[in-house]
């Protein structure tokens, strides 16, 4: 995963999920694409709205991951000025998504390889809850769904 640069002078920084999640309870939110309607208007805003409630239930980090380049992820993160808790990461080559089979082929819509939509509850590097969507839906991977899982 890549952490978008904080400003143009900074280099892109590679980070591992292991380094972000070891010894913690985190939520990993996978989205098909930055700035897409379902992701931008529903999925991510729900996590921003519920972040403090999720943190009050023991969540250390809420990590948003998409198969977009780091600069797009930086711009997308900036489009949520009210966000205080979500961290945005790039999986530009889909390497992270491909390893467990979480990639989505959006070639028929002109998107190429993307991520399935999902929300994972990870406790000390062990997946405790895997809410996976099908067909572009947003029925099981919302912030409310994760709150119910806690």
Distances from the Cα of 103 to the Cαs of 75, 107, 113, 124, 139, in angstroms?
Answer: 23, 12, 6, 24, 19
**What Cα–Cα distance (Å) separates residue 69 from each residue in 3, 46, 59, 73?**
10, 23, 26, 6
Residue whose tokens read 């590679």: 14
Angle value at C-alpha 91, between 90 and 97, nearest 5 degrees: 140
Catalytic residues: 39
Q: What is the DSSP letter of 12?
A: P
Which uninterrupted H or E stretch holds 74? Answer: helix 70-78
Pairing outcome for strands 25-31 and 61-66: parallel
Radius of gyration of the chain (CA): 14
């Amino acid at each position: 995963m890549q952490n978008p640069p904080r400003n143009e002078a900074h280099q892109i920084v590679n980070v591992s999920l292991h380094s972000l999640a070891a010894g913690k309870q985190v939520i990993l939110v996978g989205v098909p694409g930055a700035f897409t309607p379902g992701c931008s208007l529903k999925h991510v805003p729900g996590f921003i709205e519920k972040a403090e409630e999720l943190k009050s239930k023991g969540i250390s980090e809420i990590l948003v991951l998409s198969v977009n380049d780091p600069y797009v992820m930086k711009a997308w993160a900036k489009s949520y000025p009210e966000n205080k808790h979500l961290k945005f990461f790039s999986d530009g080559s889909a390497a992270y998504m491909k390893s467990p089979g979480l990639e989505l082929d959006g070639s028929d819509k002109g998107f190429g390889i993307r991520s399935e939509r999902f929300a994972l509850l990870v406790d000390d590097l062990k997946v405790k809850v895997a809410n996976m969507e099908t067909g572009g839906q947003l029925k099981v991977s919302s912030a409310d769904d994760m709150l119910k899982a806690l």
